[in-house]
Amino acid sequence: MYLIRLNINPVDKIFENKIYKNIIKRYYFYSLKANKKKFFPFFISNNIKNKSNYNSVRCEIPQFSTYHYQKLSKDKTQFLTGSKIIKNFYSTNNKENSNISFAKFEKMTSKVPQVNSLDPVVLPVNYTTPFDDVKVEVKDSGKEGCTFDDELILFLVHSASEKEKGSLKISSQIKDSKINEFLSNNDDMFNGKIGTSKSFYISNEKNKYVNLTFIRCGGVDDEMTECEIRKIVPSLVQVLHDNKPASASIIFEIDINESLFRFLLETVFYESIVDERFKSTNKAGNKNSSNSTNMKNLHIFLKNHNANYNKEVEKAKTFSMGIYFAAQLISAPSNYCNPVSLANVAVELAEKLNLEYKILGIKELEELKMGAYLSVGKGSMYPHRFIHLTYKGKGDIKKKIALVGKGITFDAGGYNLKAAPGSMIELMKFDMSGCAAVLGCAYCIGTIKPEHVEVHFLSAVCENMISQNAYRPGDIVTASNGKTIEVGNTDAEGRLTLADALVYAEKIGVDHIIDIATLTGAMLFSLGTSYAGVFGNDEKLINKILASSKTSSEPVWWLPIIKEYKKFISSRCADMNNIPTNSKASSIIASLFLNEFVQSTSWAHIDIAGAAWIFNDSKPKGFGVRLLSELILSHAI
HEC secondary structure over 349-400: HHHHHCCEEEEECHHHHHHCCCHHHHHHHHHCCCCCEEEEEEEECCCCCCEE
The type of residue at 545 is I
Strands (E), 217-351: 247-252, 297-302
Could you give the CA distance from residue 113 to residue 418 in angstroms, rounded to a whole number?
25
Q: Helices 307-331 & 258-271, crossing angle to 10 degrees?
A: 40
Question: 400 has which bridge partners?
Answer: 454
434-449: burial string, b at 16+ Cβ within 10 Å, e else = bbbbbbbbbbbbbbbe
Residue 459's Cβ-side half-sphere holds a number of Cα atoms within 13 Å equal to 33
Question: Measuring CA to CA, which residue among 494, 122, 144 is closest to residue 302?
Answer: 144
What one-character DSSP code corresponds to residue 330? H
Residue from 58, 178, 303, 418 carrying the catalytic annotation: 418
Q: Note if 495 is an active site residue.
A: yes
Contact predicate 607/590, CB 8 Å: yes
DSSP conformation class of 223: P
Rounded Cα distance between 589 and 602, Å, is 19
* Residues forming a β-bridge with 213: 154, 199
Question: Pick the catalytic residue: 5, 216, 385, 495?
Answer: 495
What is the rounded CA–CA span in Å between residue 21 and residue 15?
Answer: 10
* C-alpha span between 518 and 410 (Å, rounded): 12
d(CA 513, CA 605): 8
Secondary structure class of 575 (helix, strand, coil): coil
Catalytic-residue membership of 277:
no
Cβ–Cβ < 8 Å for 239, 152: yes
Q: Which long-range contacts (CB under 8 A, 24 or more apart) does 100-104 make?
A: 100/7, 100/351, 101/7, 102/6, 102/7, 102/9, 103/9, 103/71
In degrees and rounded to multiples of 5, residue 354 shows phi and psi of 60, 40
Catalytic residue list? 418, 495
